[in-house]
Structure 1
Amino acid sequence: MVRGFVGICLLATISEIFNYSDKVEVSNIIESKEFKQVQGCISNYEKQTPKHGTLIESFSIDDVEFTFSNYDVGPYFHGKLHKDNFIKNGQCVSIDYVLDGRKNKILKIVQLTKP
């Protein structure tokens, strides 16, 4: 029983270390302004539900594509962070983002009024 408790505590500690590391990395990106920004109106918005409980959303602004899921975790914007459905075709936004691997990850998204 003690081993199980110690194991759970160890896993929780390791998880928190990785979460902290991710937050520090994003903080450094923001402070050094190593991110890109795109402003425009959302097009090609799609919602996919490949299996029950999973929601994948994707859209583009000009030629910049974004995809995220309600199962994504970490320091970037993901489906669990928005519930008001302001992300839709025609909605104008400003997005600060970074390229993480081959995906554009959203740091900040702000609704704009149409020009």
Structure 2
Amino acid sequence: MMTPQVITPQQMQQILQQQVLSPQQLQVLLQQQQALMLQQQLQEFYKKQQEQLQLQLLQQQHAGKQPKEQQQVATQQLAFQQQLLQMQQLQQQHLLSLQRQGLLTIQ
């Protein structure tokens, strides 16, 4: 799976200087960048959440907590992983839709 790279402001300026983009193409480019930044922020958030849940699980195991509480933490971890996967799938569907419309080229 290829993931698009985030375009820096300097690269954006170079792209705009190299070719003339329609307002619609510019809007798609902006939306793509916003989606990528949001994805990165969400991935960082989910990573931190998962680390906290992992730590909580280890603390409970060390303290001799009941398996029911361990199961609850494991269930939360699974829910976070599923949410992250759903978000990635939605973004892929959106990018494929833009590609089919000819508004986006992924190299």
TM, length-normalised to structure 2: 0.33
TM, length-normalised to structure 1: 0.31
Structure number with bigger Rg: 2
- Structure with greater proportional helix content: 2
- Structure with greater proportional strand content: 1
